[in-house]
Structure 1
Amino acid sequence: MSRRIPLALTTVLLLVTTDRLSADDPTAEKPDGFLFAHMTKEDYGRLYYAISTDGLHWRMLNKGRRVMPQYRGHPDIMRGHDGRWILVGNPEPEDQTAARFWVSANLAHWKHLADFKADMSEFPGFDEHNRWHGAPKLFYDRATKQYLLTWHFSNAARLKENPENYWSGMRTFCVTSPDLATFSPVRRLFDWDMATIDVIVRKEDGHYYAIIKDERYPSFDWPTGKAIRIARSDHLTGPWSEPGPKVSPNFREAPMLIPRTDGTGWLLYFEQYPGLAYGAATAPRLAGPWFDLDASRYSLPPNARHGCMVPLGKPEFDALNAAEGVTDEGYGLKEDPMDRFNASSIPVIDFHVHLRGGMTLEKAIHRQAVTGIKVGVLKNMGKGWPIETDDQLREFLQQMHGQPVFVGVQVNDRDWMDRHCGDLLKRLHFVLADTMIMPMPDDDGEPVKLWLTDQYTIDDPEAWMKRYVRHNLQVLAEPVTILANPTYLPPAVEDRYDELWTDERMRQIIRAAIDNNVALEINARSGLPRERFIRMAKKMGAKFTFGSNNFDDRPIDMSRCFQAIDRYRLRKDDMYVPAAKH
């Protein structure tokens, strides 16, 4: 019988605080164990796990099998701003994704979180599309509340007759992000010009240390080439000092750093490539002095290659240790729809998650982590709704700032764009609207909620439908981003859907959406819009989104959205994704 990590234990892992074990300071509370996430010599770029109690002697997990089949990259894991674990890698080179992020509450079950595509156009020579964004690494700085993502990239071609040409062109680039959803512009990490790869950043005593591989070829003039060196800065993104003397022999790469279990300093591992052996050095502080460890004092899994080492608390270590016999399903080896969509870079985002009825920001973030479905949270805005004033809108934006979700509002009044500050509205990722509130019984009447059937009557459905189409077009002419529940009809006439929603009327709505850059929601709950409308909209070139439209915090089955991807052959370019907000 298959078994997973017990739910109770998973809950314990969720409650471990981000400050319990710190990579910033080797004198912090003693780790109870370590995780070594790595690739192997035979299976380069894939993910394997090993654990250790002392940081010196390591044992493979999962019976030496891959942990997650969809992973590609040089494994790097760190704890994020909300206490969850973040895994970073990258897909195949032709995808041109510089980094792909997964998230987990327990290190066993990973869900796709986000992708980052690097705009290298500001760096002449580095903007070729056939080159590799190598070894993305992630560091979260609690002081600045920023993630630092680093990777290396070459401005030189691969030459069969001179392989070093490509590696000598390597430079390290970086971006910062508060949430792994929005990113700063790409910049060079170091001001000085030297070939570098495999950079990791750590912090000690308020100073930042970049542990690098000097990628210059060693010579009498450059004796530190192909060795591990360390630079220092007082700020997360520099300026950085010139790198110090080498702390490893030549022809070493992929540094990994963990605190010593006795609290007296650091252990630094580095690989003698290509996959020949691992070496290790130790120092009381990151500034040194460093000396090599006798190889008889440590042992790593045979054929282990690049990766990262992560200090763990007791609940985390015990859970992984107990999971030695965990099934393929427990380690995420069984492909689910999200794995398939992620592999095709199809964004699956629920833009219709209301913060109401018990649904909170924290629950929305947790739902995102558990399901892999990205979340767009929103509140209703309008007279008599949760957001009526600019002060309330400003407060909402401040509460959502820096959170790993898309942020929007649902507008319910038709003059909303004139009643609120434009600068505040620009800070939203999206504005959602529907057509369920309209004047009744005629255009001069008071707005009525069409789902409240005791508030109005429809005596002539055809005449009302002509007014309703004009109402739809009015909504689509507003500066909204998403039209929710397209082709909605109120209960009094919903049984006449095919009669009232003629092809010509559908085309009018779709054309207005395309002309005004409004995406059309495929709703998980309502069954709207129907198949005829979706097929017509796709053929005409409309953009789509998904939405659940919750009323409480209970799960909502999103399978209709998943099925739509396959049934209508939706692809990445068919889906709307908001622009980044800096």
Structure 2
Amino acid sequence: MRLKIIYFLIAVAFVFSSCSQKAYLFTSFHEPATEGLRMLYSTDAYHWTAFDTVLLKPEVGQQKVMRDPSMVQGPDGTFHLVWTSSWRGDKGFGYASSKDLIHWSNQQFISVMDKEPTTVNVWAPELFYDDVEKQYIIIWASTIPFRFPKGEEEEENNHRMYYTTTKDFKTFSPTKLFIDPGFSVIDAVIVKRAKNDYALVLKDNTRPERDLKVAFADNPLGPYKNVSAPYTKKFTEGPTVVKVKDGWLIYFDSYDDKSYGAVKTKDFITFEDANAEISVPLNHKHGTIVPVSKSFLKRLKKNLATP
């Protein structure tokens, strides 16, 4: 019995030690999005500091900008990054990878809407690693005029979400519709809450709304149902979600008042304002949060000559 207690205490100590070793990176960009990838870092997911440098300058796409950078770390430790490469005109998005966020692969332009010649745009590609199927899911918003009922939207601003999958970022599955919630939708983020339990945080981009909602599914590819009422004020977008000790934090861009906000939730049903608990540097724009080890953050800060 005594031995079991000792093993239990060792296990508890290991868990707490592992938690204390976690840090976070937050991909970012500054308007007008011509400089490239910027990044914030944190050790608690609430208080953020900016690296005062550009980590990757965009080279692909018609406009060669980098907006909405989304990053995920694969099982082999490689970081994969995708981004919006043009405001309009592109039928794909930018991609690059890195082991250390200092040395990057050659940038690629990944075409995903070539079979839809009237596509207006490809916005905010978002990465999700599906640990069940061992593949990456990439979702994004595109407008195909006259494809869906537009409501109050202009035909060239009536978005739906699409997706492709890949295991190696060399071959990709055919593009398919990801979600049509019955309204213009952009900036969607897949969150795995538990086995067979997924939430989709999204922006309702219709004129009366322009706020954040959430839907639910038992598979990362959907179908997502039961779209919620909005849980943020109007003029919010670019959400990213991070797991914290007592639940989840959902960050978002309050673009009307040029600030960054957050809400806390334990169940994605009730939400609590967390603005007073966070600090985000000025000029930070739409990105994603990636957990890393404190040792990785220490090396990155050293390589970027950050105190």
TM-score range, shorter chain: 0.7 to 0.9
What is the alpha-carbon distance in structure 2 between the residues aligned to residue 166 and residue 258 of structure 1?
A: 34
Shift of 1:232: 1.0
Cα distance per residue 1:232-283 (max 9 Å; x no partner):
11112111113112221111000011122xx111111111115710111001
Say whether the 8 Å CA contact 2:211–2:234 is kept in structure 1.
Answer: yes
CA contact (8 A) 1:58 1:299 kept: yes
Per the alignment, in what secondary structure is the counterpart of residue 40 of structure 1? coil
After superposition, the Cα gap between the structure-2 partners of 1:180 and 1:314, relative to the gap in structure 1 and judged at 3 Å, is same
Q: 2:243 aligns with which of 229, 252, 259?
A: 259
Q: 1:44 to 1:307 in 2, by over 3 A?
A: farther
Aligned-partner residue type, residue 160 of structure 2: R
How big is the shift at 1:108? 2.2
Which of the residues 192, 195, 212 maps onto 1:228? 212
Paired residue type of 1:211: V
Which residue of the partner structure matches residue 282 of structure 1? 264
Letter in 2 for 1:112: N
Change (3 A) 1:194 1:31: farther
Q: Which residue of 1 aligns with 2:273?
A: 292
The 3 A distance-change label for structure 1 pair 238 and 296 is: closer
1:241 matched residue in structure 2: 225
Q: What CA distance in whole angstroms lies between the structure 1 residues aligned with 2:45 and 2:289?
A: 9
State the structure with bigger RCO (CA 8 A, min sep 6), 1 or 2: 2
Q: Does structure 1 residue 210 correspond to structure 2 residue 200?
A: yes
Task: Work out whether residues 167 and 195 of structure 1, in 8 Å CA contact, stay in contact via their aligned partners in 2.
Answer: no
The runs of at least 4 aligned residues of structure 1 exceeding 6 Å deviation read: none
Q: Which amino acid aligns with 1:314?
A: K
**C-alpha separation between the residues in 2 aligned to 1:145 and 1:30?**
28
Distance 1:50 1:151 in 2: 23
Aligned residue identity for 1:108? I
Residues 80-95 of structure 1 aligned to structure 2 (within 5 Å): 80-92=74-86
Task: Determine if the alignment matches structure 1 residue 57 to structure 2 residue 38.
Answer: no
Counterparts of residues 161-560 of structure 1 (less than 5 Å): 164-165=153-154, 168-206=157-195, 207-218=197-208, 225-260=209-244, 263-274=245-256, 276-285=258-267, 287-293=268-274, 295-325=275-305
The two structures have a TM-score, normalised by structure 1, of 0.45
Task: Kindly provide the amino acid, as one letter, of the partner of residue 292 in structure 1.
Answer: D
- Matching residue of 2:111: 117
Q: Which residue pairs with 1:148 in the alignment?
A: 137
1:35 paired to 2:25 = yes
Aligned-residue offset at 1:153: 0.7
Structure 2 counterpart of 1:298, which letter? Answer: I
**C-alpha separation between the residues in 1 aligned to 2:86 and 2:271?**
37
| Residue-pair matches, total | 277
SS in 2 for 1:321: helix
Per-residue deviation, 1:321: 2.8
Percent identical residues: 25
More helix by share: 1
Q: For residues 56 and 228 of structure 2, what CA distance do their matches in structure 1 show?
A: 37
RMSD of the alignment, in Å? Answer: 2.5
Offset, 1:167: 6.4
Evaluate the alpha carbon distance shift between residue 190 and residue 92 of structure 1 in structure 2; reply closer, same or farther with a 3 A threshold. closer
Q: Which has the larger radius of gyration?
A: 1
Q: Take 1:94 and 1:200, find their aligned partners in 2: how far apart are those partners?
A: 21
Choose the corresponding residue for 2:95, options 94, 101, 107: 101
Structure with the bigger percentage of strand: 2
Q: TM-score, with normalisation over the residues of structure 2? A: 0.82
Letter in 1 for 2:111: K
What stretches of structure 1 of length at least 5 have no aligned partner?
A: 1-27, 158-162, 219-224, 327-582
Q: Which moved more, 1:244-253 or 1:271-280?
A: 271-280
Q: 1:62-101, CA deviations, whole angstroms, 9 ceiling, x for partnerless residues?
A: xx23221226231111012432110112434687351222
d(CA) in 2 for partners of 1:315, 1:247:
36
Give the structure 2 partner of residue 363 of structure 1: none
* 2:240–2:250 CA contact under 8 A, matched in 1: yes
Q: Corresponding residue for 1:47?
A: 37
For the residue of structure 2 that corresponds to 1:315, the secondary structure is helix
Post-superposition Cα deviations, 1:26-62, rounded to whole Å, max 9, x if no partner, equal xx9466221111012354673111111121221111x
Partner letter of residue 228 of structure 2?
A: G
Residue 136 of structure 2 contacts residue 167 of structure 2 at CA under 8 Å; is this kept in 1? yes
Supply the distance in 1 between the matched residues of 2:156 and 2:235 (Cα, whole angstroms). 13
Distance change >3 Å, CA 94–CA 306, structure 1 → 2: closer
Q: CA deviation at 1:103?
A: 1.0
